[in-house]
Amino acid sequence: MTAANQSSGDLTADRRAEFARHYAKAGDFEAAADLIGQALDLAPDHLPFLALKGDWLTKAGRAADAAEVWRAMLRLDAADRFGAQLKLASLGLTETPDAPPAAYVESLFDDFAPTFDRSLVQRLDYHAPQQVAAAVFAALGPDAQAIRHAVDLGCGTGLMGEHLRSRTSFLEGLDLSAGMLRRAAAKKIYDRLEKGDVAVPAPDSEPGRADLAVAADVYIYLGDLAPAMRTAARLLQPGGLYAFTVEAHDGPEDYALRSSLRYAHGAAYLRRALAETGFDVLTLKRVFLRMDGTARIEGHLVVARKADAAIALTTLSPALDAPVADMPNRIDLDLRDEDIEP
């Protein structure tokens, strides 16, 4: 059972929460918030119920009451698995963090894993993997040999890897979510899968092992991209290609946290951050990424080339000595039948 759907241990409370979900689906967020409050009377401090209450209070226009819920959640859960800090920031009540808590991202995608492919491809008209692959192949040119070693950063269920497999000799995937990795493994397109953070290099990882690093719609969950870019620079050999997408931000800030709890980045910031990390920009263009309800989400598609390995390796040296807490570099992917969609 995922964190979002975890039982409170009180059958009556769980039933009231289910009734509350029905009201929320019908758009009556006041009634939903009231009912989930009754569930919390029976199961005080149950984080999934508190998260629902905060969301529904926000949608009912009661931001101040929602903020009290998010603050209570931060007191109860230091790991912030439900992203309370981000939600406070989205309401303008605290500073925007440079990155969300790793526990929140991991929990979010573990919950999302069972429906990820269907939701993105069929419902949201998701285009990022095709666009990244096409841009990479164009940069390589028609006469280029097969990609020797590609790293799919934030590989998820393998939607990006599916577009690289035919032209890649060795395909590696990295993701924070074990649920996503199990689904990627079931597709049998990766030569290696690892559990890890795209912004935190594994201490024992081999520098310069890849000639391609990609991150399709991954950096929308990071604000400051410098750590992630340094990780990519360390993975790549000199001359290696680095391709990714982000949501586009047109304001004066380098990046901004949207109400969706995703980050958007400015084009000028991307160029500056890439240059500072030792990359030459080959392509930076505006593209359509996906739908979000009825809204079209536009982003930046970037292809860059690593210019000088020494820049990235020197910058990374402090991070390589830092411990990566509770983050195994390799995992055994426990493929259970109930985890895989038919």
Cα–Cα distance measured from residue 177 to residue 183, given in angstroms and rounded to the nearest whole number: 10
How far is C-alpha 48 from the chain's CA centre? Answer: 20
Extract the residue ranges of the chain whose pLDDT is less than 50.
1-2, 309-342
pLDDT at 205: 75
Helix (H, G, I), strand (E, B) or coil at 217: coil
DSSP string, 152-214: EET-TTSTTHHHHGGGEEEEEEEES-HHHHHHHHHHT--SEEEE--TTS--TTPPTT-EEEEE
C-alpha distances in Å from residue 142, one per residue of 7, 128, 139, 148, 152: 54, 21, 9, 16, 22
**Distance of alpha carbon 330 from its chain centroid, rounded?**
19
8 A C-beta contact, residue 35 and residue 21: no
Task: Give every CB contact of residue 231 below 8 A, 6+ residues apart in sequence.
Answer: 153, 198, 199, 200, 201, 316
CA-based nearest residue to 218, from 246, 199, 259: 246
Cα–Cα distances in Å, from 3 out to 7, 69, 93, 251?
Answer: 9, 17, 25, 35
What confidence score (pLDDT) does residue 308 get? 65
Q: How far apart are CA 267 and CA 250, in angstroms?
A: 8
pLDDT confidence of residue 206: 85
Structure tokens at 93: 């009540």
The DSSP call for residue 339 is G
Question: What's the sign of the alpha-carbon dihedral 329, 333, 334, 338?
Answer: positive
Domain ranges of the chain: 3-95, 115-339
Backbone angles phi, psi at 26, to 5 degrees: -85, -5
Task: Give the fold, CATH level 3, of 3-95.
Answer: 1.25.40
| 149 secondary structure, DSSP code | E
Q: Categorise residue 168: left if φ over 0, alpha if ψ from -120 to 50, beta otherwise.
A: beta
Question: What would the CATH number be for the domain defined by 115-339?
Answer: 3.40.50.150
Cα–Cα distance, 193 to 48 (Å, whole number): 30
Residues 6+ apart with CB under 8 A from 5: 48, 111
Are residues 82 and 51 in contact, defined by beta-carbon separation less than 8 angstroms?
yes
Q: Report yes or no: 163 and 128 within 8 Å, Cβ to Cβ.
A: no
Rounded to an integer, what distance in angstroms lies between the CA atom of residue 7 and that of residue 28?
23
What pLDDT is recorded for position 92?
A: 86
What whole-number distance in Å separates Cα of residue 271 and Cα of residue 280? 9
